[in-house]
Amino acid sequence: MSYLVFLLLPLFYADKFKENWKMDAETIEFKENVDAWIKQIRNEVGGLSEISSITEESIGDIQHNYELIHELRDEVEKLKQEINALKIMQIINLREIHKKF
């Protein structure tokens, strides 16, 4: 008798299973939505990884440009000093020429 109950038990719960199938379909739809969200998030995170490498490259470029600017600033200062030296030399030459006349 218990063997017969064991065999008939799934048939008894078949109607209950059909009632719960609607909920399972909702669960399946929810799972598909979550999977789609996860794929979207992965794509966005992948995009952030690309942005990270681009940002690192930009930082390197900015640092290089900063170094070039400092070198140019030093060159400009040297040129200013040379121009001042030339001005002084011109003033001295003009004074000596003026003394001769």
Q: What is the pLDDT of residues 51-67, one digit of tens each?
A: 878 888 999 999 999 99
Main-chain dihedrals φ then ψ at residue 7, nearest 5 degrees:
-75, -35
- pLDDT exceeds cutoff 90 at 79: yes
Number of domains in the chain: 1
Rounded Cα gap, residues 17 and 9, in angstroms: 12
3-state secondary structure of 61: helix
Task: Using CB atoms within 10 Å of the CB of residue 96, give its burial: 0 to 12 exposed, 13 to 18 middle, 19+ buried.
Answer: exposed
Rounded Cα gap, residues 55 and 59, in angstroms: 6
- 5-38 tens-digit pLDDT: 555 555 555 555 555 556 677 888 888 899 999 9
What's the domain range around 64? Answer: 2-100
The model carries a pTM of: 0.47
